[in-house]
Amino acid sequence: MAKKNQLGVTPLSEDVSAWYNELVFKAELADRGPAKGTMVIRPYGYRIWELLQSQLDQRFKDTGHVNASFPLLIPMSYLQREADHVEGFAPELAVVTHGGGKELDEPLVVRPTSETVIGEMYSRWISSYRDLPVLINAWNNVVRWELRPRIFLRTTEFLWQEGHTAHADEDEAMEETLRMFDVYVEFALNVAAIPMVKGEKTPGERFAGAVRTFTIEGMMQDGKALQSGTSHYLGQNFAKAFDITFQDENNELQHVHTTSWGMSTRMIGAVILAHGDDAGLVLPPRLAPIQIVIVPIGRGEQAEAPLAKCRELAAQLEGLGVRAHVDDRDASPGFKFNDWELKGVPLRVELGPRDLEAGHVLVAQRVGERDDKGRPVKETVEFEEFVTGAPERLDAYHDQLVARATAFRDERSGVADDWDTFAELVGRGFAYALHCGEPSCEDDIKAETSATPRCISTEDGFAGEGTCIRCDRPSVYGHRVAFARAY
Amino acid sequence: MAKKNQLGVTPLSEDVSAWYNELVFKAELADRGPAKGTMVIRPYGYRIWELLQSQLDQRFKDTGHVNASFPLLIPMSYLQREADHVEGFAPELAVVTHGGGKELDEPLVVRPTSETVIGEMYSRWISSYRDLPVLINAWNNVVRWELRPRIFLRTTEFLWQEGHTAHADEDEAMEETLRMFDVYVEFALNVAAIPMVKGEKTPGERFAGAVRTFTIEGMMQDGKALQSGTSHYLGQNFAKAFDITFQDENNELQHVHTTSWGMSTRMIGAVILAHGDDAGLVLPPRLAPIQIVIVPIGRGEQAEAPLAKCRELAAQLEGLGVRAHVDDRDASPGFKFNDWELKGVPLRVELGPRDLEAGHVLVAQRVGERDDKGRPVKETVEFEEFVTGAPERLDAYHDQLVARATAFRDERSGVADDWDTFAELVGRGFAYALHCGEPSCEDDIKAETSATPRCISTEDGFAGEGTCIRCDRPSVYGHRVAFARAY
């Protein structure tokens, strides 16, 4: 068993998995619920979710979407109307068989996703081309039975948003699918500070019922991929299953084309695993419940004046829209420093009697320069300069996290044109390789290396044709496929 | 069957129940879900909920609460630990018996409320007086089987918030119970424009498991009461059932005292039934998705300049935090006026070529002065004056709705000291009467008049003692009880 740090968490550098499992509890992000696989998101973790929600929701509204609420309980027969969909979700369903003290005539499933019930509602609401497009999102909870649950990453219940749109034709629906895919890529980078690997899923990895699925995949610090958001073009599959039709401008009856797209509380897991370190969480400032923690230094009467100044600074920071917190607990500075490091607060400010006299604070970054003993190098900054410069300082810190995560991702990624290189790369990160597109060949690769195709990369430099990395068949996608072990 | 208006809704003045049922569909607030008793909240209705959420949540945060998320699925055995609680909720439970393709060893209930699972978590998190108070709220969905569902008022699934707090002693817990009760009263008045009747529930009407329950009851336009929010002091009932203990300052082990409090999507039903009229919804401005709708008047080329000005005004209003919308649909002004009346938009603005030339708009209030033909009297207001005065105009409109609802409530309420007066009053509103406090006597009153005790009123003027309104026993509460028929 790896040595734990002073706060009781196994170092990430020793065992990513143990570190993760211990940290989510120790940092009070989440806890296990009583029913197997369920999770409790504690206030500190839930605040991250609220910040994610508000910033993602704004992007949905800016792209013309509105929110709505659909029922949790769906008649079992609805899922059966789309063949691929029920095949994909049947093994994961939670089923309500009794309600109000009686056995139900037809069992109800707790929604694993809402394409079916929303399809039914859209069929009632849409009748003319004038009703299109329908651009609706829902923030809710879904249940998918998990045999090997892990908090945030795989839980029987999770929170998410599911967007569902209906369009007059394929072009418009594909445009929407890619628009929301781009929103996820941009959001992940600019809010969560995660440079995602992005592209289309291979047929074997598509959403159950989709024609095309686009995904963002983050690289975690154990080199594994974490699927963090998906956007699906559903074609007319659900439109036909639920009879969602409209009169077009020529008075002809057409089926709509639909899309769906989702991001979940799993994204909190991505943030933990992409940025954390041996000392605990590292939160990107735009998702940090506390962006700047201010620690007054001094004992007894000597503590009063610094504490008052700390509160004044915090109020000034709040006025600039910065989430600041004064730690006035009755505990040693060392305890507080460790605690806020564990909780991943971006900036820590110290202010003692001598600093007050000198008119400055000491600023330490959660991730930044360290001295010989591994302690953060503190910067001395005048009060006013510190306050007015805080938003910019947080932006710079965000950029620094992006640069660090990008360097890590790129260092652990590479092009593989032979099997040995491929096996070595997927052992520690992402391998970009040509592939034949056969599901059986994907299975062989998985059996041998645990790696799966994460996406067909359409980014610059990854176009290519040739022979499959694994078999003798020719490659099919015109682009390399990013393979990795995945959560 | 009552005559419907031009938009297909039975007038409220003819049949409140039919009006309500038709209006929620016609105004696109909500729809029925496929599973019995479930509801779909459509974007227009959901936007009301979002506005309610954000303004109520701010009040929770201002009083020191934080949000968290607890599991949807709760082991059946948890509910059985508090005897009154399980007795109250057992008939309403939805039960998951199968998960992941297998029958479960122990059935899980879909949460009807979360005292039990939160009690379990608090017992893990709380160990010292230093951990108290715990002040947590959750925004989520709950399921209570409904045999006679009505959208927003009684649905098998509804959205709500449930606050759950834990305290060191009874005084502090009672203070919290009353603090959140006051928050609901203030919110209902200042946001939803509903002057609530408020007080404590009689023992027979308490929440299952509570020691004391406080309620806000709105008067709907059929004279019936609608319970719109409740705050409970739970004593040590759940603390004992879930072993939530702490070491006090003297190192002695104590059980905590807990509270819970909730407001739900039912509040949207309260808004509809408290303010609406024959022409449709009447939304209080602080919950209105659109506060001001601007309708350009004119045809063909003549329409362009007014439309541009409408857009300019809307942008200026948005800049002041006013939710404005330009209705540029290809439809007649008359159609648009009826449509926005149905949807309850507080202010309607018209702007045609001549208005543009004159530099003014015509302003009509959804509720306000009417001419001989029942049409709104329009006020002529200069552009700039209109824009800068809009927030104040909306506030005045809010006050007007409060005054109207207060007058209606008071006109339909009265003190009853004899049975005939009582029966007459509860036939059309609220009767304030002395009561013996016996559940069997409450039952007799209900059997004869359909009225139930809504709350013990502690408001000015309702103190009193004497003989029960129904039997010969002496009154017990020291205050009159508000009786009414209720939803």
Q: What is the pLDDT of residues B250-277, one digit of tens each?
A: 999 999 999 999 999 999 999 999 999 9
Q: What is the CATH number of domain A290-392?
A: 3.40.50.800
- pLDDT tier, A189 (very low <50, low <70, confident <90, very high otherwise): very high
Q: How much of chain A exceeds pLDDT 70, in percent?
A: 99
Q: What's the mean pLDDT in B284-296?
A: 98
Cβ of B73 within 8 Å of Cβ of A35? The answer is yes
Q: Which helix (H) or strand (E) holds A272?
A: helix A266-275
- pLDDT tier, B131 (very low <50, low <70, confident <90, very high otherwise): very high
The torsion angles phi and psi of A436, rounded to 5 degrees, stand at -75, -15
Between B72, B97, B120, which is nearest A98 by CB? Answer: B97
- B136 interface with A at CB cutoff 8 Å: yes
Q: What's the mean pLDDT in A81-100?
A: 92
A268: helix, strand or coil: helix
Count of Cβ atoms closer than 10 Å to residue B408 Cβ:
18
Query: CA nearest A72 in B: which residue?
Result: B157
Q: What's the mean pLDDT in A125-150?
A: 97
- pLDDT tier, B458 (very low <50, low <70, confident <90, very high otherwise): confident
Task: Count how many pairs of residues, chain A against chain B, have C-beta atoms within 8 Å.
Answer: 171
Classify domain B414-484 at the CATH class level. alpha beta
What is d(CA A100, CA B255) in angstroms, rounded to the nearest whole number?
Answer: 33
- A178 interface with B at CB cutoff 8 Å: no
List pLDDT tens digits, range A138-151.
999 999 999 999 99
Q: What is the pLDDT of residue A374?
A: 83
How many angstroms separate the CA of residue A471 from the nearest CA in chain B?
A: 35
Residue A484, pLDDT > 80, answer yes
Higher per-residue pLDDT: B8 or B434: B434
Between B34, B73, B75, which is nearest A78 by CB? Answer: B34
Between A67, A147, A159, which is nearest B43 by CB? Answer: A67
In A, which residues are within 8 Å of B43 by CB distance?
66-68, 136
The torsion angles phi and psi of A351, rounded to 5 degrees, stand at -145, 110
Q: Which residue has the tokens 């028929």?
A: B485
Tell me, letter by letter, the H, E, C secondary structure of B356-374: HHHCEEEEEECCCCECCCC
B205 touches B213 (CB < 8 A): yes
Range in A156-165, A174-183, A299-308 with the lowest mean pLDDT: A299-308
Residue B142, pLDDT > 90, answer yes
List pLDDT tens digits, range B397-453.
999 999 999 999 999 999 999 999 999 999 999 999 999 999 999 999 999 999 999
What is d(CA B247, CA B233) in angstroms, rounded to the nearest whole number?
Answer: 22
Cβ of B31 within 8 Å of Cβ of A117? The answer is no
- Cα A347 vs. chain centroid, distance in angstroms? 23
Pairing of strands A347-351, A292-296: parallel
Q: What is the pLDDT of residue B2?
A: 53
Examine residue B133 and say whether the peptide bond preceding it is cis (omega within 30 degrees of 0): yes
- pLDDT tier, A2 (very low <50, low <70, confident <90, very high otherwise): low
Q: What is the pLDDT of residue B196?
A: 98
In A, which residues are within 8 Å of B100 by CB distance?
91-94, 145-147
Cβ of A50 within 8 Å of Cβ of B67? The answer is yes
| Structure tokens given for B346 | 């507080």
**Domain boundaries along the sequence of chain B:** 16-275, 290-392, 414-484
Q: What part of A 30-59 touches B (C-beta under 8 Å)? A: 31, 33-35, 38-43, 46-47, 49-50
Cβ of A117 within 8 Å of Cβ of B73? The answer is no
Between A68, A78, A94, which is nearest B99 by CB? Answer: A94
A218 touches A225 (CB < 8 A): yes
B413 touches B219 (CB < 8 A): yes
- pLDDT tier, A254 (very low <50, low <70, confident <90, very high otherwise): very high
Give chain A's mean pLDDT: 96
Q: What is the pLDDT of residue A211?
A: 97
In B, which residues are within 8 Å of A151 by CB distance?
none
> Residue B143: which region, alpha, beta or left (left: phi > 0; alpha: psi -120 to 50)?
beta
Q: What is the pLDDT of residue B6?
A: 66
- Cα B280 vs. chain centroid, distance in angstroms? 18
Between A43, A91, A157, which is nearest B68 by CB? Answer: A43
Residue A1, pLDDT > 60, answer no
Query: CA nearest B44 in A: which residue?
Result: A68
Q: What is the pLDDT of residue A5?
A: 67
In A, which residues are within 8 Å of B110 by CB distance?
72-73, 96, 110
In B, which residues are within 8 Å of A31 by CB distance?
121, 124-125
How many angstroms separate the CA of residue B141 from the nearest CA in chain A?
A: 8
Pick the CATH number of B16-275 from 3.30.930.10, 2.60.120.920, 3.20.20.120, 3.30.70.3000: 3.30.930.10
In A, which residues are within 8 Å of B40 by CB distance?
68-71, 121
A143 touches A112 (CB < 8 A): yes
Cβ of B96 within 8 Å of Cβ of A95? The answer is yes
Q: Which helix (H) or strand (E) holds B49?
A: helix B43-62
List pLDDT tens digits, range B28-87.
999 999 999 999 999 999 999 999 999 999 999 999 999 999 999 999 999 999 888 889
A337 touches A5 (CB < 8 A): no
B421 touches B449 (CB < 8 A): no
Sign of the dihedral through C-alpha A411, A417, A419, A421? negative
Between B50, B72, B94, which is nearest A143 by CB? Answer: B72
Q: What's the mean pLDDT in A161-185?
A: 98
Q: What is the pLDDT of residue B459?
A: 85
Edge-to-edge order in the sheet of strand A324-326: A324-326, A292-296, A347-351, A360-365, A379-382
Residue A86 CA: distances (Å) to CA of A77, A82, A94, A203, A207: 10, 6, 13, 17, 11
Q: What part of B 371-430 touches A (C-beta under 8 Å)? A: none
The per-residue b/e assignment along A87-118, b for 16 or more CB within 10 angstroms, e otherwise, is ebbbebbbbbbbbbeeebeebbbbbbbbbbbb
- pLDDT tier, A294 (very low <50, low <70, confident <90, very high otherwise): very high
Query: CA nearest B139 in A: which residue?
Result: A140
B158: helix, strand or coil: strand
How many angstroms separate the CA of residue B100 from the nearest CA in chain A?
A: 5
The torsion angles phi and psi of B258, rounded to 5 degrees, stand at -120, 160
Q: What is the pLDDT of residue B280?
A: 96
- pLDDT tier, A217 (very low <50, low <70, confident <90, very high otherwise): very high
Give chain B's mean pLDDT: 96
Q: What part of A 71-130 touches B (C-beta under 8 Å)? A: 71-75, 78, 90-101, 107-108, 110, 117, 120-121, 124-125
What is d(CA B291, CA B320) in angstroms, rounded to the nearest whole number?
Answer: 12
